[in-house]
A and B are shown apart, each in its own frame.
Chain A
Amino acid sequence: QQPVQSPQAVILREGEDAVINCSSSKALYSVHWYRQKHGEAPVFLMILLKGGEQKGHDKISASFNEKKQQSSLYLTASQLSYSGTYFCGTAGYTGNQFYFGTGTSLTVIP
């Protein structure tokens, strides 16, 4: 049930770009993305509702390929504040069960 994310961890220098992938074995109605800082609760970044939809949020954007049951999060020109663990979250077509992905640890260094 749990979506699989890749990579598990990534280290970037400030200004570099990164892509985080999320893949589900079940049909998806929507995909969420969250960021969690150490010792804190996950914080919502964005939701994608339609297959093929892309959304942007400052320098963070995402895409959702409904047919492939995949989503990707794009972080461009990374900043130190981007450090944290990123989770995708998925809602299927049956019920409101909401499962989080395996997580990707992102560290941005100066």
Chain B
Amino acid sequence: DAGVIQSPRHEVTEMGQEVTLRCKPISGHDYLFWYRQTMMRGLELLIYFNNNVPIDDSGMPEDRFSAKMPNASFSTLKIQPSEPRDSAVYFCASSRDTNTGELFFGEGSRLTVL
């Protein structure tokens, strides 16, 4: 089976531009998570979905951030407008159930906002 697939792997953009990160979870996984990783804050949970429904978005830093999961095989994380402090690695991960099983991570999307 293919693992979690994220795109793009690298994105360099200018402040004020819209950024869209994409994720395809592992088939059959009911849970999808978006994390942001920086040196200062470590791995932060931004939002997670269960069966395509957003369950907890309390980690989304600002209204500039939004996430959707239109179907079981696709999710997006959008930043509009982007700011330099959004520069980070964004990971998508999926799981059958984190209470009893592991998270499978994508390779991450490294975002640089100039």
Q: Give residues in A with beta carbon < 8 Å to B.
A: 1-2, 29-30, 32, 34, 40-44, 47, 49, 87, 89, 91, 95-103
Contacts and interface: CB of A to CB of B under 8 A. Distances in A.
Contacts of A30: 98-100
A23 to B, nearest CB: 15
Interface of B: 31, 33, 35, 42-45, 48, 50, 55-56, 91, 95, 97-108
Given A41-B107, A41-B108, A99 B45 contact: yes
Contacts of B102: 32, 44, 47
Given A29-B99, A30-B100, A49-B100, A100 B105 contact: no
Contacts of B50: 96
Contacts of B104: 44
16 contacts: A1-B45, A2-B42, A30-B99, A30-B100, A41-B91, A41-B105, A41-B108, A43-B105, A49-B99, A95-B56, A96-B48, A97-B48, A99-B45, A100-B42, A101-B42, A102-B42
B33 A98 contact: yes
Given A87-B43, A102-B42, A96 B98 contact: yes
A102 B43 CA distance: 8
